[in-house]
Amino acid sequence: MPFSFFGITPIKVLKDIGILKINLYLCNQLEQSSITSYGGRRKIESCRENSQKNMKERVFSVNSVQRNLFYDEKVVLDDGIYQDIRHCYDFLKTFAEDRIIYGINTGFGPMAQWRVDNQDLKDLQYNIIRSHATGAGEPLEDVYVKASMIARVGTFVQAHSGIHPSVVETLVKMINAGIYPFIPRHGSVGASGDLVQLAHIALTLIGEGKVHYRGTWRPTAEVLKENDIKPIQIYIREGLSAVNGTSVMTGISIVNQIYAEKLLDWCVISAVWMNEIAASYDDWMSERLNVCRRHTGQQAMAERMRAVAQGSKRLVKREHELYAQGRHTEKVFRDKVQAYYSLRCTPQILGPVYDTLTAAHQAIDEELNSACDNPVIDPDTNNVYHGGNFHGDYISLEEDKVKIAVVRLAMTTERQLNYLFHDRINGILPPFLNLGKLGLNYGMQACQFTATSTTAECQTLAMPNYVHSIPNNNDNQDIVSMGTNTALLCKEVIENAYQVMAIQMIALAQATDCLAITDDLAPATRAIYNKVRDICPKFVEDTPFYEEIANVIEYLKK
């Protein structure tokens, strides 16, 4: 996950600590795990090697999709990918003759026991699309829809769906033209994948439904015609393949991951800035302290904090202040010997979040480059395999973990805010960072209400959704992942956490001005101070904050 502080951090730091070392970390974990004996490790490596032999090269990643979503990079597939898709299609076209294959000449779900006559096979594919476009609720924002569309391409390019290449071509053209299908929030139980929400994408692929194009909702057929894009045709199983899989929950999770990783970076900056405000002893982030605990995340967070803190004149050396003999003879110390937990324990608090995001990043990358269709068409073995690659458990479980981790970030930030606002706790700042007349003015008092209530909502939403399976579909789907609901709840928690962090950034800037320590900050935190003050200048008289909070959120997410 990219890690930068507006060009201040040295390039070496960016390389050494800025990128999630996913593969190395996981390999180390496998090596050290007592569960995996030598024989067990050999089996794991053998499975991994066989898997890599059978899988296509990865086309997408969270990082590449980030460029598609936020930097207007186009989705481009090389000719070899289309050739593989065509090869799979040609194989299925021959293989499907005179064979019973689910969803090609049978009904869907519990209706699979009924054979469909040959003259009705094209209607069967159109029916699965139209009958399942039943979503409800507010539409997903464009960025989540675009990510979901890219995730669907990620499944198709595995060349295990048996679809005509024109389906992929049309989907890529729509993505690059900024044509986004109407996808309602509700509808998926995450078991046969995101049937309902993907049906809304598929509906637009056949030229029906509506799309969001240049800020306006319009009939799909009109927009496709304007862009010289032809709706797809049905050949064999294009309808089922378009609606079957985990692409919507994966798309939402990609955006969640991008924002969660950014939020963690902001928490690292906030941790250092908080300790600069408090003039803390700097050994809380020292290398020798943190290497004593064998957790990759904790050590990575401490290393990042040391990088951010370089050049600070506010952090105190314990060996200079407390360990110098004869310097302190008083019985009661004026300054705290150890800072509060929300300041001092930040490597230990943020470390598990880092590890959680590392695991989620890998899981999303793998899902993004997986065939999450059913059945799976495999020309290499001349077979069609029926199973459950559409089941969203990987995404659902990871998004629950990300959600809980982000709630922890919000909780930590809220406690740091309390330190800044509570004059009897910090002992150095006016109540609520109020630079006006006490009693007449209120500073950021009401901002704390917002941060506290938002954090409380996050805590309520932290309940794992992965365990909330409800059987449905005539008990055909007797256990489901609820992956899309989980990803949507995670999305909501991340949005809330950014609101709390925005208030924290304004408070840190105000606290810096209360103490008049701007010139003593580390260059990294000073740069953030300047950015925040461009949005929200120092205030003495009471003023509304809602616009400044919104603008800081926008800045943080960029």
CA angle in degrees (0–180, nearest 5) for 67-87-126: 75
CA end-to-end span of the chain: 14
Picking from 200, 217, 244, the residue at the C-terminal end of a domain is 244
User: What pLDDT is stored for residue 329 in this prediction?
Assistant: 75
User: What pLDDT is stored for residue 483 in this prediction?
Assistant: 87
Tell me the per-residue pLDDT of 46-58, one tens digit each, with 9 for 90 and over. 555 555 555 667 8
CB of 68 within 8 A of CB of 75?
yes
Average per-residue pLDDT in the chain? 89
301, 227: one domain: no
Q: Which residues contact 248 (CB under 8 A, 6 or more apart)?
A: 148, 151, 183, 188, 193, 194, 197, 198, 484
How buried is 49 (Cβ within 10 angstroms: 0-12 exposed, 13-18 middle, 19+ buried)? exposed
- Chain centroid to Cα 265, Å, comes to 14
Tell me the per-residue pLDDT of 120-158, one tens digit each, with 9 for 90 and over. 999 999 999 999 999 999 999 999 999 999 999 999 999
387, 478: one domain: yes
Report, as an integer, the average pLDDT of 396-404: 96
207, 267: one domain: no
Q: Where does 382-431 have alpha helices with state H? A: 393-421, 423-426
434, 497: one domain: yes
502, 366: one domain: yes
Of 545, 495, 12, 550, the closest CA to residue 263 belongs to 495
Asked if pLDDT for residue 19 goes beyond 90, the answer is no
- Would residue 144 show up in a list of annotated catalytic residues for this protein? no
Question: How many structural domains comprise the chain?
Answer: 2
417, 279: one domain: yes
Tell me the per-residue pLDDT of 498-515, one tens digit each, with 9 for 90 and over. 999 999 999 999 999 999
276, 192: one domain: no
Q: How confident is the model at residue 339 (pLDDT cuts 50, 70, 90)?
A: confident
Q: What is the pTM of this model?
A: 0.89
The CATH number covering residue 160 comes to: 1.10.275.10
Picking from 217, 244, 271, the residue at the C-terminal end of a domain is 244
Q: Which residues contact 160 (CB under 8 A, 6 or more apart)?
A: 88, 371, 373, 376, 377, 378
Residue 31 belongs to some domain of the structure: no
The CATH number covering residue 470 comes to: 1.20.200.10
What amino acid is encoded at 498 in this protein?
Y
Higher pLDDT, 26 or 401: 401
- Measured distance CA(290)–CA(344) in Å, rounded: 12
Residue 43 belongs to some domain of the structure: no
Report, as an integer, the average pLDDT of 374-391: 93
Q: How confident is the model at residue 16 (pLDDT cuts 50, 70, 90)?
A: very low
Cβ-based neighbour number of residue 301 at 10 Å:
28
CB of 237 within 8 A of CB of 163?
yes
231, 270: one domain: no
Higher pLDDT, 467 or 49: 467
Residue 174 belongs to some domain of the structure: yes
CB of 220 within 8 A of CB of 210?
yes
349, 212: one domain: no
Task: Specify the residue for token string 């390039």.
Answer: 11
Report, as an integer, the average pLDDT of 74-82: 96
Report, as an integer, the average pLDDT of 34-45: 49
Higher pLDDT, 269 or 112: 269
- Measured distance CA(507)–CA(412) in Å, rounded: 15
Residue 307 belongs to some domain of the structure: yes
User: What pLDDT is stored for residue 187 in this prediction?
Assistant: 85
Q: Which residues contact 438 (CB under 8 A, 6 or more apart)?
A: 430, 431
Q: Which residue range is the domain that position 164 belongs to? A: 62-244
Q: Which two tokens stand for residue 277?
A: 């405000």
Q: State how far the alpha carbon of 102 is from the alpha carbons of 70, 237, 378, in Å.
A: 39, 10, 15
- Measured distance CA(27)–CA(460) in Å, rounded: 35
Catalytic residue among 102, 235, 340, 442: 102
Q: Which helix (H) or strand (E) holds 11?
A: helix 11-17
Residue 16 belongs to some domain of the structure: no
CB of 543 within 8 A of CB of 288?
no
Picking from 244, 278, 293, the residue at the C-terminal end of a domain is 244
User: What pLDDT is stored for residue 306 in this prediction?
Assistant: 95
Q: How confident is the model at residue 335 (pLDDT cuts 50, 70, 90)?
A: confident
Asked if pLDDT for residue 98 goes beyond 90, the answer is no
361, 391: one domain: yes
